[in-house]
Structure 1
């Protein structure tokens, strides 16, 4: 990416918005969700739409769209990367840039629970719906499904997630559900990352919707991942989480989780797009090597 490509992108959006649908119509689609390595390797970039712009010690790292698109294009061009997850603004930019050819494209569906807001647990569906994902010829939708036993808004999240799973499945589209047991600590929303909590979240998420035929789970790495993976027969992708200064330790945890039978890949964003040494190519290649 450079300033000229950015200017051309903005010019297209301003004067020929129909180019987005045209690019979606001619995009080469993948033959299935798994790459040549037999796994799904997804680069995730739906954080900005929830106001979560930080990466490591950079609080507004994802706030520079030119830089983010440059990193995304770099990551998506690496061998073994066969998928991307994002909101409409980001996926449409990537479409216009020609970066989604042959990739598994997952549209992010609920971004209403803004990071740090008093209504953060109210994960309303403010992004893609199943009808638009189908119309854009994308391959599936993703939901963030946080469950706070002390917050009545969680039942709305569960109901909306179940509807999204059903709507996607009725169109033969993948439903990627990212569940957490969550709670407020000193007024801030926190995901409970114990083994028991992740097992419970996986069990709840697996049963949402009128069918689980097209449901995949997106789960964090915690202690005793064998117990987590034993909680479901659904395909699981491992999420990356926050940027960690000890990247080798992160890769080691991912490698162990990927050895479980239900593990079918990685869905990682900031850890690969904004690695501690800022070397996106090396970080992505190292992650692909784990597959």
Structure 2
């Protein structure tokens, strides 16, 4: 269903073939999952490079000034297939619809597959912080033979919806641990501005508090990983990461359309990746939609930081 191109170029995704399989042979998705060649979460390097693409299910389709950049599914799949084909890329984080497509495209062989679990906190919604678990359940991840799950935990001390998310997140940590499946928890302290828009606090104090809260979720932390943003002042990261002994990966985020900004973020990642609890990087829009359009180069640069 996808045709490989020359090295460093995007493969072509045949949308018609995907739709035909989904319409006539939906069981093919489960069959592809059952026969997928698996690998350990961590390879010989002990590091992880994961490409993220779970933004669309939360209604977050924008990249920089391009409001609907991620709305073209064939384009997104081609970018993902190219990223996953690059040396040093360990796997992908996405929702069921995208992972189902990638299974049918054969792009998940020997890759780490992480399912996105809570996508109910839609971007811009009044209920954004009541982030219900509308994606993969622990039993789905186990049934499909996927390797881990990820949940988003945004906490606003003034929004009661955060408590619902906290409790749901704790139960998800328990359910994943019962299945011996790692779960990546992505915590933020957040607040709404005068315009009603939700913003994450990336100060050292806020990030440290969010890591402390996330580390204590559930009845055991044995299978919990942290997915951590780089603080607004990168020099604070060493102190912030002393908050927990849980293994962590860095969060990429949306860099925007300025190549200079992208270069600056790479330098922030480089410094944080040297810290003892940091085991890798999970980046999505910054690698899939780089300012210069060169996905392969962006991915290769990120891999080089590891």
- Asked if residue 175 in structure 1 is aligned to residue 183 in structure 2, the reply is yes
Q: Does the Cα contact within 8 Å between 1:36 and 1:80 map onto a contact in 2? A: no
| Runs of 4+ deviating beyond 6 Å | none
CA distance in 2, matches of 1:247, 1:157: 32
- Quote the RMSD (CA, aligned, Å): 1.1
Q: Normalization by structure 1: what TM-score?
A: 0.98
Give the drift of 1:3: 6.9
- Asked if residue 121 in structure 1 is aligned to residue 129 in structure 2, the reply is yes
Q: Normalization by structure 2: what TM-score?
A: 0.93
- Asked if residue 85 in structure 1 is aligned to residue 100 in structure 2, the reply is no
Matches within 5 A, 1:210-289: 210-222=219-231, 223=233, 224-244=236-256, 245=258, 246-289=261-304
CA spacing shift, 1:78–1:147, aligned 2, 3 Å? same
Q: Does the Cα contact within 8 Å between 2:70 and 2:76 map onto a contact in 1? A: yes
- Asked if residue 107 in structure 1 is aligned to residue 122 in structure 2, the reply is no
CA spacing shift, 1:141–1:270, aligned 2, 3 Å? same
Give the drift of 1:35: 3.3
Q: Does the Cα contact within 8 Å between 1:110 and 1:125 map onto a contact in 2? A: yes
CA distance in 2, matches of 1:4, 1:176: 30
Identify which of 11, 14, 30 aligns with 1:5.
14
Give the drift of 1:227: 1.2
Aligned residue for 1:230, secondary structure, equals helix
CA distance in 2, matches of 1:229, 1:203: 10
- Asked if residue 196 in structure 1 is aligned to residue 205 in structure 2, the reply is yes
Aligned residue for 2:173, secondary structure, equals helix
Structure 1 gaps of 5+ residues are none
Give the drift of 1:241: 1.2
CA spacing shift, 1:233–1:53, aligned 2, 3 Å? same
Aligned residue for 2:243, secondary structure, equals coil
CA distance in 1, matches of 2:305, 2:44: 13
Structure 2 gaps of 5+ residues are 3-10
Q: Does the Cα contact within 8 Å between 1:53 and 1:62 map onto a contact in 2? A: yes
Q: Does the Cα contact within 8 Å between 2:13 and 2:78 map onto a contact in 1? A: no
CA distance in 2, matches of 1:270, 1:22: 30
Aligned residue for 1:162, secondary structure, equals helix
Identify which of 54, 57, 75 aligns with 2:62.
54
Give aligned pairs, total: 290
Identify which of 67, 71, 90 aligns with 2:79.
71
CA distance in 2, matches of 1:247, 1:50: 24
Give the drift of 1:242: 1.3
